Amino acid sequence: MDSEVPIAILINEKTVVYGRDAEHLWKMGFYGELHEGRLTLLPVETLYLVENGKIKVYLDNRLLSFNELLHYFLRYDPEVWIKYVIYSDLRRRGYIVKSGFGGTSFRVYEKGAEVGKNPANIIVYGVVEGKPISLNELKEIVATAKSLKKEMVLAIVNGQCEVAYYKVSEVFT
């Protein structure tokens, strides 16, 4: 059974899966970017799939644990843990989540949507307890969503990694 878990290879910050496994993972939940039988996964996708036993990740022929992977990715991106907290929370709730527009943002598809067929209607922007945001930043986030004609949702992460979601929009215009 164990040998059937797809094997992925780390190449710098990217995780790559080839062949039938690549197709399988894509169809399972639209993970990664599929190009000519080669699936490239983001760090958050890699962590999520490893945590759920859906892939095994190797670096120089050595199998990495979730914890080793996390530390590996943190060297590339100090925000990878917060991104992972939000990403996995949304995935567990049944959303399809793709990378967003920089920072801790994600494009989120409605439950049951098909990537490539349906648009991502929601942008989720992560903010963290104890890391204040300026009002200008908030204003820009809202303006961005408006110009893209998407719903903007703030994902607020507290010290226990609980996530609360708030839709934000401009009113009384």
Partner 1 sequence: MVAPFKPIVVEWVGGNFVVWDFEASRWLYAHGFYGMPIKVRKPKDLNFNSPLVLSPIEALYLLDKGVISIVDGDRILSRSEVLSIVKSKHKLFNELYTVYCDLRNKGYVVRSGMKFGADFAVYVHGPGIDHAPFLVEVFPMNEKLDPVDIVRAGRLSHSVKKNFIIAMINPATNEVTYISFRWFKA
Residues that bind partner 1 (CB under 8 A): 89-90, 93, 95, 127-136, 138-139, 142, 153-154, 156-158, 163-173
* Least separation in angstroms between CB 90 and partner 1: 7
61 vs 173 by CB, closer to partner 1: 173
> Which residues, including other chains, have CB under 8 Å from residue 76's CB and lie 6 or more apart?
12, 13, 43
38 vs 93 by CB, closer to partner 1: 93
* Least separation in angstroms between CB 17 and partner 1: 28
Give the burial string for 79-90 (b: 16+ CB within 10 Å, else e): ebbbbbbbbbbb
* Least separation in angstroms between CB 43 and partner 1: 22
DSSP 3-state assignment of 97?
A: strand
The one-letter code for the residue type at 60 is D
136 vs 147 by CB, closer to partner 1: 136
DSSP 3-state assignment of 172?
A: coil
What span, in angstroms and rounded, lies between the C-alpha atoms of 79 and 160?
A: 16
82 closest CA partner among 48, 128, 42: 128
* Least separation in angstroms between CB 111 and partner 1: 10
112 vs 172 by CB, closer to partner 1: 172
